[in-house]
Amino acid sequence: MRSKPEPAQIGILILATSIIQLANGFFGTFISLRVAIEDFGPTISGLVLSSYFAGFTLGALRCERIIERVGHIRAYAALAGMVVAATAAMPLLAGPLPWLILRAVIGFGCSGLFIATESWLNAKAKPTERGRIFSVYMFGTFLALALGQLLIGQAKVETAEPFNAIAVLFAVALVIVSTTRAEPPRGTASTSLPFGQLSRAAPVAVAGCMVSGLVSASFYSLVPAWMQDEGIARETIATFMLFAVLGGLVFQVPIGRLSDQFDRRIVLSMLSFGFAATAIAVVNLPHSRPVILPAAALLGGFMSTMYPVCVANAHDQMPAHQVVAVTGRLILVSGLGSILGPLIGTSVMARFSIDGVFYFMAAVGLLLALLAVARRLVTTPPTHLKRTFEILAPQATPLAHDLLGPPMRVPTSQKPE
């Protein structure tokens, strides 16, 4: 019989993760600005920016085994130490290849930290408490990501100080978690799921996860660097990115309710079309603060809700015993999209500036909207399963993009009936 969860222990885990997301929110925007200053060239810059997501995706596939083998606290300490070391090494090894490797290591470590934390919370919380606890967890995540953007305005991007500050934040989270007690989560049996089976059963969900990862990674990785190249003040860049994150927070609950009341494919088509229209508007409307800041909030809101709607749609189509396998496949698809986003985006930006990136993101959004509508016209709406919509962190924070549900974190109370 599991012991009663202690609010103090749960609060410690949420606090530590919020500190990590504070560091990640700052790091994601900062590294985009710093790579632009280093002038690695569009292709290499894209590889450096996307390497985080490559590491994160690999971590989502591998870190669960590490946690099961050595335990939560030891795994957390090892992964956090890896992230601290890689962050501290970046100013010492300035160059495209070292940064590509180190950012991948950071992505791998952060993925493992989120898996460890969320499965740990899942173990401590009773089924009747998980929804409330995870809502507090995700609120702390969004708030920390938003605060991380505010640090950009005060950062000396050209120096090593931001790297040191980020390493300190990761280390503080490590100290906090290392002083609490571990309670191993209950194991969850997994089932194999051929990718082709999922693609045939839920093509809109698979395509939507790919598009979600692609556009959000492109946006969060490339837009700050472009704004800096345009001579826009860093305080304005920080505010713009802050509004994008806050938009993601505000959209979650109302979109979740719509997704539960209507065909999720129609909701997804509305989100995709809204994102595409807003991206085009950003290019063509005046770039004054009263116009651009609300546009940033809309972009962030549309981007951050695509993924959870797709996840819910996929679970509507698949049997309950495959919930873990479905989640893992969608994480992988979203991660692949996040890897491709900066690579394609930097190539487009090299030819057409940031306008081309926004048009590129609008184009894939429109394609997803058309696919969702077409599938809705030729197939009957699936029966909504109970509580399949879940608020998830923005994919591209490093920023993320969470995105992020390994087998151990699936709440029992939220499995389809």
Domain assignment present for 361: yes
Tally the domains of the chain.
1
| Domain membership flag for residue 115 | yes
Average pLDDT rounded to a whole number, residues 165-192:
73
pTM above 0.95, yes or no: no
Residue-wise pLDDT tens digits, 257-303: 788 788 888 999 999 999 999 999 988 888 788 888 899 999 989 99
pLDDT, tens digit, 9 for 90 and up, residues 77-91? 899 999 999 999 999
In a domain, 315, yes or no: yes
Higher pLDDT pick, 405 / 87: 87
**Mean pLDDT of all residues belonging to the chain:** 79
The answer to the question of residue 1 being in a domain is: no
Distance of CA 379 to the CA centre of its chain: 30
Query: Is-contact 112 79, C-beta < 8 A?
Result: yes
pLDDT value of residue 368 = 94
Specify the pLDDT at position 401: 35
pLDDT at 276: 95
What confidence tens digit (pLDDT) does each residue in 135-148 have? 677 777 778 888 88
Half-sphere exposure for 83 (CA within 13 Å, toward CB): 35
Domain that holds residue 169: 7-407
Confidence of residue 3 (pLDDT cuts 50, 70, 90): very low
**CATH number, domain at 338?**
1.20.1250.20
Residue 413 lies in a domain: no
Alpha carbons 309 and 264: distance in angstroms, whole number: 6
Residue 414 located in a structural domain: no
Residue 417, domain member (yes or no): no
How do residues 300-351 score in pLDDT, each as one tens digit?
899 988 888 887 788 777 776 665 567 667 777 888 888 888 889 888 888 8
Residues 6+ apart with CB under 8 A from 46: 342, 343, 344, 345, 346, 347
Instruction: Let me know if residue 364 belongs to a domain.
Output: yes
In this prediction, residue 394 has a pLDDT band, given cuts at 50, 70 and 90, of very low
